[in-house]
Structure 1
Amino acid sequence: METTGEAVTRPGGAAGTPPVRPCPECGNAVAVDARYVEWCAACDWNVDPSAPDPERGRVAAFRRRLARVHGEQLAAEIGRGGGPGGPVALDASTVLAYGMSLAVHGVTAALVVVAGLLIVGGWHTGIQPVLGLLILVVVAALLPRPGRLPKHAPVLHRADAPRLFELIDEVGAAVGTPGVHTVVVDPVANAAVTTYGLRGRRVLYLGLGLWEILSPQERVALLGHELGHFANGDVRSGAVTHGALRSLHHWYGFLVPPDPDDLIEWLAYVLLFTPRWAVYGMIHLLDGLTMRASQRAEYRADAGAARAGSTEAAVALMDRMLLCDAVKPQLLRESVAAQTRGGAAGRAARDAAEQGLWERLGERMGSVPEHESERLRRVSARRGHSVDDTHPPTHLRRRCLASAGAHPARVVCDASRTEAVAAELAPARAELARRVIRDFAR
């Protein structure tokens, strides 16, 4: 954080009024708070002192340009159409993405057919069945595996948390999709949905680092957004395209040899050069073709958040998510502070730190002043697609939600429901608080 040598003053000398100092660029008053970045709302001085360096390389630059173009075009289209909830047009890039994905799966199927023909048709030769079996082994190694539930995280099923699943089902009905089969609770400041197992059962990953800093109605909006990805049929996460991307990544990993040390390894390196970079190019081509659809899916998921929790809650959720980067440092500080003492005193300190950890996190994030929230909104607009080119920047998502008009909440999370869900999450909260305090700083 930059500082200046200007004197710090309090306007009018009123007690409790935040101190200010003149902006070194334009002279306007800048709020001074040791907990947050000093910046000027008039000229944006020091608004983003920790701006990350953009990822270098032609591919990264191309992705940023493509994401920016798609993001602005989509925002304009959605604004003209009255919001992100309208019908989805099957554009050329989506058609090409499906065609390319089917071609990738076709290669896998062709290898299986070839292996079968070698085994069955060349059984009398002796060598062809061996070659066929080798091809099947390679195909089996390169096939993407179905998702699995994590082994070291609290996993909740419907019987474990009936009120939570009832809320998820109600939100799912509001956005037009069934609920989930499983909820995985972890400490991160994020949430996501995916599938696991051969039957493609649905799972919601619920990060307490995000859940605990939201109001009850913002939590409904969060669930609406995540379940909206199921309702809208996101091309990028669909079985065809997602499976093709995973297959291509498996292929690329298989084709990357270790650093060559002898003549044979150098020969393998040279022979694999062309197919390796061909696969690498296919990964980025398919990634680029699905980028527009991925961004559109985020806008449509935001529409689900507004329908379920209200437009007001969905917009507030956007602002709260800008605080997510501050959650991990806060949890790390809690962990470090609890581990600075050893012996019995240290154990007592850790036990005390575990109690109320998530409440303290919620209070800390809830006390962020408006001038810091506004700074984060401006930072998001400045960085745009440079952070995550598969998600539109927050300022565009806020604009699109506003263009759709104000939606009332279809699902209301009142005090009794909030308390019931909190009681069901209590064991997972305690387990993850213990893990954060004892292991987060290691």
Structure 2
Amino acid sequence: MSPQPTVPMDGRCPSCSASIPVDPRFVVWCPECDWNVDPEAEPPVAPTSWRTKRAAMERLYAEALNETNPYRRRDGLWPVAMAVAGMAHLTLAAMTVGSGWLLAIGPLPVKVVGMVGLVAVFFSLPRPRRVRPDEWSPSRAEAPHLYGLADRIAAELGVAPVGIIRFVPNLNASFDRVGFRRRGVLNVSLPLWEVLAPQERVALFGHELGHAVRGDIRRSLWFVSAYEAVYRWYGFTDPGNRALLTIPHRLAALLLLLLYRPMERVSQRAEYRADDLSVKVASSAAALSLIGISTLGADMAALLQRRTAGFDPEDGAALWRELREHVASVPESERLRRLRVSALRAPSEPSFYPPVHLRVRLAGERGVERGSVDFPEREVAAVEAELAEVRNRMAHAVLTIDL
């Protein structure tokens, strides 16, 4: 890690002499020349590979920018991903048939091999996850206005209504399909929800429900079941000292690699599409603000963890109020710095999300001044009342976990 440069005492940039904002809570840097913009930056391990990766991400951004219909945004690698998933399914099917055949007709030692094969197949098969309503999942009867908002957004996007809206204490929101019926579950970060303005909440729902639109392989039963099956097979065949498992383990590793490669690009394209749909329902300004606030996750987590000591569980409203005040107090210069860092740092490997600065650029380019879904004040108040118990319970729970 590079040593941090000396912070100027006179409020002037030591590189270009421009006046720079100083907030003791955040990095002091110069918006004019980028002096000290990223004091923790490390040089890229492989500069050539870094440039190649960045060029590929810029090309994907350009494709997303020029796409005018987000509903048709299936990446060219989609057929490749589906074909590789098919190879994984066929491999497991062949294992099942072959192991059953050995078990049926072979002598005892061969039967043992067949039994081991069937056991491997059994433990490799994906188990459909189930999400049952609990204290963090208000029902439609308990929160009709909350579900009504989600239903309006889903209808606007042309997707099925969600089955469950579940609030979680971490700082990530997500959409998933669970069970054999592929029931939609919308996981909403309550700390994030608390700091968002009404239209930013619409943008949040729009982004997550945007992943329900066809084209995101991470929600495809065909692809996900293949990936989970091969991943379990990979772990089950870890050879250790068992040399006989080396070949099956390497085969599983190859299948995982073939599944992994197309998922990165297709996932990034799906994130751009979800941002586009977020802009459509909420507006460019709301989507931009949501993306900006999402970069403050580490700061929000740190504040919540500091509040553990002396927290009064009977005063949950104070926790959320302090969190909102903290987010509002982050200066614009610090938010801008984080976008600059996103543009300067080498992309992570692997990267299933586009760089934040490109997501911001895309949302700004769309220029949607008014979204198609409004969240008026009367509905905001109704939703707040519906979530009162969840908010109070979560205020205590959020301080007892590792965010």
TM-score after normalising by structure 2: 0.89
Counterpart CA distance in 2 for 1:436 and 1:203 is 21
- Post-superposition Cα deviations, 1:104-158, rounded to whole Å, max 9, x if no partner, equal 0111122222344455x539x6777665554333211111111232798722332
Displacement of 1:395: 1.6
Q: What CA distance in whole angstroms lies between the structure 1 residues aligned with 2:221 and 2:188?
A: 22
Residue aligning to 2:87: 103
Question: What are the equivalent positions in structure 2 for 1:250-399 lying under 5 Å apart?
Answer: 250-258=232-240, 265=241, 268=242, 270-335=243-308, 337-338=309-310, 349-351=311-313, 354-383=316-345, 385-386=347-348, 389-399=351-361
Specify the alignment match of 2:97 in structure 1.
113
d(CA) in 1 for partners of 2:26, 2:101? 67
2:73 aligned to which of 81, 88, 92: 88
State how many pairs are aligned. 401
| Equivalent runs, 1:1-400 vs 2, <5 Å | 2=4, 4=6, 6-8=8-10, 21-51=11-41, 68-81=54-67, 83=68, 85=70, 87-88=72-73, 91=76, 93-118=77-102, 121-122=104-105, 132-149=114-131, 154-258=136-240, 265=241, 268=242, 270-335=243-308, 337-338=309-310, 349-351=311-313, 354-383=316-345, 385-386=347-348, 389-400=351-362
**How far, CA to CA, are the matches of 1:53 and 1:157 in structure 2?**
50
- State how far apart, in whole Å, the 2-side matches of 1:67 and 1:212 are: 36
Q: Secondary structure at the match of 2:347?
A: helix
Bigger Rg over Cα? 1
Equivalents in 1 of 2:325, 2:19: separation in Å? 28
Instruction: Supply the AA of the counterpart residue of 1:38.
Output: V
Report the alpha carbon displacement of residue 165 of structure 1 after superposing the two structures with TM.
0.8
CA RMSD of aligned residues (A): 2.9
Distance 2:278 2:209 in 1: 9
**1:204: Cα distance to partner?**
0.8
1:432 to 384, 394, 398: 394
Distance across 2 between alignment mates of 1:134 and 1:380 = 48
Q: TM-score, normalised by structure 1?
A: 0.82
Structure 2 stretches lacking a partner, 5+ long: none
Q: 1:352 to 1:159 in 2, by over 3 A?
A: closer
Counterparts of 1:127 and 1:280 in 2: how far apart (Å)? 27
Deviations, residues 16-61 of structure 1 (Å, cap 9, x unaligned): xxxxx1222222222221122211111212212234787x7x9xx9
Report SS of the residue matched to 1:411.
coil
- 8 Å contact 1:118–1:132 — kept in the other structure? yes
Return closer, same or farther for 1:407/1:365 CA change in 2, 3 Å cut-off.
Answer: same
* CA distance 1:69–1:281, change in 2 (3 Å): farther
Task: State whether residues 307 and 409 of structure 1, in contact with CA within 8 Å, keep that contact through their aligned partners in structure 2.
Answer: yes
The answer to whether the 8 A contact 1:4-1:24 is kept is no
Q: 2:362 is aligned with what amino acid?
A: C
DSSP-derived class of the 2:293 partner: helix
Cα offsets for 1:46-89 (capped at 9, x unmatched)? 212234787x7x9xx97x677534421121123334x5626335
Flag the 1:53–1:204 CA change in 2: closer, same or farther, 3 A.
farther
SS at match of 1:30: coil
**Secondary structure of 1:205's aligned partner:** strand
Provide the C-alpha distance between the structure 1 equivalents of 2:190 and 2:291, rounded to a whole number of angstroms: 17
2:199 maps to a residue whose letter is: Q
2:239/2:249 contact within 8 Å kept: no
Q: Matched residues in 2 for 1:253 and 1:76: separation? A: 38
- Decide whether the 8 Å contact of 2:73 with 2:215 is kept in 1: no
Structure 1 residues 71 and 223: alpha-carbon distance in aligned structure 2, compared to 1, 3 A threshold: same
1-structure distance, mates of 2:5, 2:133: 47
- Would you say the 8 A contact 2:71–2:214 is kept in 1? no
Q: Aligned-pair distance for 1:163? A: 1.1
Shift of 1:191: 0.5
Is the 1:36–1:372 contact (alpha carbons within 8 Å) kept by the matching residues of 2?
yes
Contact 2:81-2:223 at 8 Å conserved across structures: yes
CA distance in 1, matches of 2:138, 2:52: 39
Conserved? CA contact 1:26–1:43, under 8 Å: yes
Gaps of 5+ in 1: 9-20, 259-264, 339-348
- Corresponding residue for residue 382 of structure 2: 420
Inter-partner Cα distance in structure 1 for 2:298 and 2:52: 25
* Deviation of the 1:433 alpha carbon: 1.0
